[in-house]
Amino acid sequence: MHASAVLARVLLAGSVVGLAACGTASTSAERPTEAAPAVASKPSKAPSSSETSRAFQNANESSPAPASEVAAANESYATVSPAPIADAVPAMPERRLAPLPVIAKRDRFDETGPANVDGLSQVSFAQEGEDFDPVLTPDGERMLFASTQYRATSDIYVKPVKGSVVTQLTSDPADDVMPAVSPDGKKVAFASNRSGSWNIYVMPITGGRPVQVTSTSAHDLHPSWSPDSKRVVFSRLGEVSHRWEMWVTDTTNPSASHFVGYGLLPEWSPVAGTGANGADRILFQLPRERGARTFGVWTIDFKDGVTSNAMAIATSSGSALINPTWSPDGKFIAYAEVPAPSGRVEINQSRPTQSDLWMAAVDGSARVKLTDGNAVALMPHWGANNRMVFFSDRAGRGNVWTMDVANAVMACGGGTGVEHAATPAEHAQASAEEAAQPAEEK
């Protein structure tokens, strides 16, 4: 049971609550150590509100799980159905995530349309369970997400960003999470435990039978497409290394797979050839192996099965930097920040009480804070027209929210750094005040 609980924490940490923080930036070509992942784990069922709370306990741990523990977990998943997380983890009290003033202003869970809070818009409205893992289609018109709103296990759903009709894309008694839309807009890759262990599946975005791409007894998570829509990079809990590994595979020929390196939740740059010597770039999170064992944001170059030029983009000893994502033009990154002043998330912390989204230029400069610090903001995904979707519980329950990051992009555009990490709303106000000044004062 304990091994199952450990597995549960990491997958959920990489899913609903696996976006944490930002810190100081670094552009040195510091090679990543072969760090062990956060505690090795995977859920036996989709994240509910209480389960994601418990899952956060070890989201920022970086030391490996004991080999015997991981082996036992893998063996149990290969022979029996996963035990529910509620059975695997002792019950813990829920931690209130939305600030009390937010809850007091409205009846919880009774929204019927977008609710604007501090310039943000709510775009999903789960009244039971949670909506999480949001991604946008390449044209920015539709949103895919995982949800436990309709039953205890999660499925993938599609809805227009500006509409209310929700279409179910997958339907399986197991869990389907972490959808990723191919750049050509035709296919969806996702992770599912329908075969026992977690594997990667691909299906048409219009619906149809999912095709299993990976089929090992290891746990494969978080697919991300190459710019040509032919390959995916994903995380694998190594059966030998007992670390989170990154692998690249051809979705039409899964036997042609390449080990990329150690890291978690990789994302392929949407623009090909932006690395050294025309290589593609892959963004991922990696923990330190010494000192404050917090996650940092890294990139590596990948070309013809070979990786090189590992670089630390953003690191922090006081915050966890988890689940980074690319801008559509490959020039910026966004990530979420969960404070960890002790160097790691405390074991008795059920979920973060607050986290924020940040963005930065790909060289680590010009950091801009995107959210206001009044709630939990996690799991960003950057879509077309400077539209970003993310997971938040600021209305009292975990749902998907959206924001316009155009002002933040303008603030980062010079690449010279931003002394004050202001929110987009603050930048807009400053621009308006400057425009209103008499010419002689400018």
Q: What is the CA radius of gyration of the chain?
A: 20
Q: Tens digit of pLDDT for each residue in 165-175?
A: 999 999 999 99
CB 397 within 8 A of CB 130: yes
Residue 42's domain is classified under what CATH number?
2.120.10.30
Q: How sure is the predictor about 431, in pLDDT bands with cuts at 50, 70 and 90?
A: low
Q: Residue 69 pLDDT > 90, yes or no?
A: no
- 250 is written with which tokens? 């051809």
- DSSP-assigned beta bridge partners for residue 189: 180, 202
- Amino acid in position 184: D
Mean pLDDT of the chain: 73
Contact 363, 345 (CB under 8 A): no
The separation between CA 156 and the C-alpha centre of its own chain, rounded to angstroms, equals 16
Q: pTM to 2 decimals?
A: 0.71
Report residue 93's pLDDT band, with 50, 70 and 90 as the boundaries: very low
Q: Looking at per-residue confidence, does 43 or 120 come out higher?
A: 120
92 Cα distance to chain centroid: 24
pLDDT (tens digit per residue) in 408-426: 888 776 433 333 334 444 4
Query: What pLDDT digit, counting tens, does each position of 246-300 carry?
Result: 999 999 988 888 999 999 999 999 999 999 999 999 999 998 888 777 899 999 9
Closest to 180 measured CA to CA, from 381, 403, 391, 359: 381
Q: Can you give the residue range of the structural domain that contains 91?
A: 2-441
CB 336 within 8 A of CB 380: yes
Residue 342, exposed/middle/buried by CB under 10 A (0-12, 13-18, 19+)? exposed
The 3 state secondary structure assigned to the chain is CHHHHHHHHHHHHHCCCCCCCCCEECCCCCCCCCCCCCCCCCCCCCCCHHHHHHHHHHCCCCCCCCHHHHHHHHHHHHHCCCCCHHHHCCCCCCCCCCCHHHHHCCCCCCCCCCCEECCEEECCCCCCCCEEEEEECCCCCEEEEEECCCCCCCEEEEEECCCCCCEECCCCCCCEEEEEECCCCCEEEEEEEEECEEEEEEEECCCCCCEECCCCCCEEEEEEECCCCCEEEEEEECCCCCCEEEEEEECCEEEEEEEEEECEEEEECCCCCCCHHHCEEEEEEEECCCCCCCEEEEEEEEECCEEEEEEEEEECCCEEEEEEEECCCCCEEEEEEEECCCCCCCCCCCCCCCEEEEEEECCCCCCEECCCCCCEEEEEEECHHHEEEEEECCCCCCEEEEEECHHHHHHHCCCCCCCCCCCHHHHHHHHHHHHHCCHHHC
Backbone angles phi, psi at 176, to 5 degrees: -120, 125
Domains held by the chain: number = 1
Strand 155-160, strand 131-136: pairing? unpaired
In this prediction, residue 163 carries a pLDDT of: 87
> How much is the average pLDDT of 355-376?
89
* Residue among 389, 390, 422, 386 nearest 406 (CA): 386
Mean pLDDT of 341-357: 64
Residue 48 near residue 349, CB atoms below 8 Å: no
Quote the pLDDT of residue 300. 97
Q: Could you tell me the pLDDT band of residue 104, with boundaries at 50, 70 and 90?
A: very low
